[in-house]
Amino acid sequence: MYFSRETIIAKVGKLSILQVYSDPKVPRIKCSLIDGSGSEKDILTISLQDNGIHVYKSLDGGDHYILPPIPQIGALIREVIEEVAEELNAEAVVVRYGDEESQDLNNLVLSDAWYDIERLALAASKHAAISEDFEARIVIGIVRFSSFIYAATVMRKEDTFPLLQVYMDSSGDLPTVRVYNELGQLVEERREKITDFESYVKSLVGSEDVAVVYREASANLPSPREVTTADGSKYYVAVIYRYFLGFLPSTSLNEVRKKRVNVKGRSELSRALRALLYLEKLGEGGGVEVLIGSRAVPLNELPKEVLRLSQKAEGSLRKFSISFESDPLEEPILKELTGYTPEYGSGDVYLGVRVLPVAFLIVAENEEEFSQYVRRIMEGPTSDGYEMLDEIIKKSLSNYFIGYMMSLEEALIIYTDISTELMNDGK
């Protein structure tokens, strides 16, 4: 149950309130409990440090644990807060960001520091390095943070600080590699082709007595958000984003950089996706609405297009008196794309990537139904269904598009692989 602070003042003698304060300058969240008498007590602090997400609880004598960072950092923090609210039997949650106030936990806003994907990945790699006990003199923690982000921390067994840390972003034609010393200072940055990140990191270590801890950042299925309407009805709500990848060849560099590909027959494509995935149309009893962008856009324009779909999803829910807000740009990958600048070589023909986002708005009356919808969307159509989908996608966009529904990470991997292959062929 969520209330404004004004309402809480009127009800403070009746409710126990969990107040959440999000620091706008640093990656830190503080929570306090306001009990029925109006007294306030510090309960929880969540902060991002160099070896993970530190959670300090002051309940029952205190508790401290460290979580490995994941790309879906906003979802992880909300989960921790919701668990504490449930543990305390808090009847309402109020979220504050700096001096701004919000009446809904869904509006939790995090400072930009939480979304520094390089900082998150390096912290995850250090968390991996200190998570196991080895006899080896040197321990290397390696994390595949996303499909194209890798990080490593090299430590002596007896130390708490790293000998060095390595970060690699392989989303471009040539991976960007950054090496940091024990003080966290950048000592080297270059672009080079690296096929085996682990071997590369080992080559930087002057010792054979090495143990490696390898981790992959969690990529769990989306969790539903419970929403209760004014009439007391409860729904499980989420928005899942999937993408179709295509290419735009042209002799004009300006066209490759800026031209968008309009979608023809969006309603037909939406109906086809719902049918191929066996999804019920959104109605009073729940279902799934398929929202499709009006155009396939360059990578640097994708965040804006996804945000438009998010706003459409919120509008669709308002028709059913369901209040739901989300921030799709909290995903570090989308956040990074905001400042992405594609690079093109020289030649007679240029090849630009185009991405069409699709939002699946899920509304279910129970968790089992929600899970079924999620599974069908994540698994995609059958092989026969994909053949039909490929024809529809090519008809709706162009023959240069792939009729395969994928995550954004998968789309970036395919784009990188194709671009690399073309470069190797001298095209």
In this structure, the strands spanning 92-97 and 17-22 are parallel
Please determine, for residue 49, whether its predicted confidence score (pLDDT) is greater than 50: yes
Q: In this structure, what are the phi and psi dihedrals at residue 381, rounded to the nearest 5 degrees?
A: -70, 170
Q: In this structure, what are the phi and psi dihedrals at residue 159, rounded to the nearest 5 degrees?
A: -95, 160
For the stretch 95-123, pLDDT in tens is 888 765 555 545 678 888 998 889 999 99
Q: What integer is the mean pLDDT of 59-85?
A: 84
Q: What integer is the mean pLDDT of 320-329?
A: 82
* Of the candidates 169, 64, 176, 193, the residue with the CA atom closest to the CA atom of residue 121: 169
Please determine, for residue 4, whether its predicted confidence score (pLDDT) is greater than 50: no
Give the domains, in start order, of the chain with CATH numbers: 5-110 (3.30.420), 117-216 (no CATH), 225-424 (no CATH)
Please determine, for residue 232, whether its predicted confidence score (pLDDT) is greater than 60: yes
Whole-prediction pTM value? 0.60
SS3 180: strand
| Arithmetic mean of pLDDT over the chain | 85
